[in-house]
Amino acid sequence: MNRVAPFCLALLAGLAVASVAQAADRLVVLNKSDDTASILDASNGRVLATVPVGHAPHEAVVLGDGRSCAVSDYGDRAKPGHTITLLDIDKGASLGRIELPEGARPHGLAALPDGRLLVTAEGLGELLLLDPKARRVETRIPTFQEISHMVVATPDGRRAFVANIGSGSVTAVEGRKAIRQIPTGKGAEGIAMTPDGREVWVTNREADTVSVIDANGLEVVASVSAVAFPIRVKITPDGRRALVSCAKSGDVAVIDVAARREIGRIQIDQESVPGAAQRLFSTQFGKSPVPVGLLVAPDGKRAWVACTNADVVSVLDLETLTVVGRLTAGKEPDGLAGSFGR
């Protein structure tokens, strides 16, 4: 008995370590030029796995189980994407793909509380409702707008909002149909919802503004200046601040949500890498690192921004508003997702 006990204790200890390792915080970084997703340890930035996905992946979102992640295989004009790749975050492996209609060019993603997934089909001008478990498209909802790019949903999943770059608008969707078109500004692209579900924030990249929409009244109630080329927005978990990545100025604007005003800028202090001229944004913003994808930690103390022309993901301290680290994954990082606290 005495000989067996140490072995059992060692086995139990090993299982405990394995459980902790699986439950560690993870970052998912999409590498557009590599057609891969990198899975990183959020505590130290170490790359744990690199998984092949579809061509030119753009956005990622963790599904309701906290263990799987959906990736939009956007593609390009020569090779339009029409799949969603599903990843097992803990195992660092692909779970397969969901086939979408030809020409879909999937981009924006929103995970719903019931496990289903919203996907913008930019090439079709539609919002798709998917069942990831069944690997199928349930519903196709026309937006009647141009370049329907990003999407968010209310906390209860009953209403969705789609940002339309070409139309400079947001489409409100409920009951599997578009219920209102809300003009915001030229180049409406990034979109986020406050944690209480009351407001939708939209970055109008060509207008250098952020529009605030009343999620119930479905109208713009405020506009905030955000120079230059605001492209993504995330709200901190406490709902007090909005982070806006500004591709042209190469920094992240910090906006006080209640006061509707900018209170600071986080300077990225990176430059584009050689060869950036052949990428999506080329050199239209000079040597800017072109910060795009944003992710905020659940505790609101840290954030990450993908600098797509600099091949780095910058780690932001939201208390000091400074860059405190730089992570490397693959070429042309863009979409970010995170699995925390499991």
State the burial class of residue 101 (Cβ atoms within 10 Å of its Cβ: 0-12, 13-18, 19+).
middle
Q: How far apart are CA 192 and CA 150, in angstroms?
A: 9
pTM: predicted TM-score of the whole model, two decimal places: 0.92
pLDDT of residue 271: 87
Contact 193, 200 (CB under 8 A): yes
Rg (CA), the chain: 20
Instruction: Return the closest-CA partner of residue 329 out of 293, 275, 301.
Output: 293
Please list, residue by residue across 11-42, b when 16 or more beta carbons sit within 10 angstroms of its beta carbon and e when fewer do. eeeeeeeeeeeeebebbbbbbbbbbbbbbbeb
pLDDT in tens, the chain (342 residues): 344 343 333 333 443 334 334 458 999 999 999 999 999 999 999 999 999 999 999 999 999 999 999 999 999 999 999 999 999 999 999 999 999 999 999 999 999 999 999 999 999 999 999 999 999 999 999 999 999 999 999 999 999 999 999 999 999 999 999 999 999 999 999 999 999 999 999 999 999 999 999 999 999 999 999 999 999 999 999 999 999 999 999 999 999 999 999 999 999 988 888 887 777 787 888 889 999 999 999 999 999 999 999 999 999 999 999 999 999 999 999 999 999 987
Structurally, at CATH architecture level, domain 226-342 sits in: 7 Propeller (2.130)
Q: Any idea where the domains of the chain sit in the sequence?
A: 226-342
Region of residue 45 (phi > 0: left; psi between -120 and 50: alpha; otherwise: beta): left
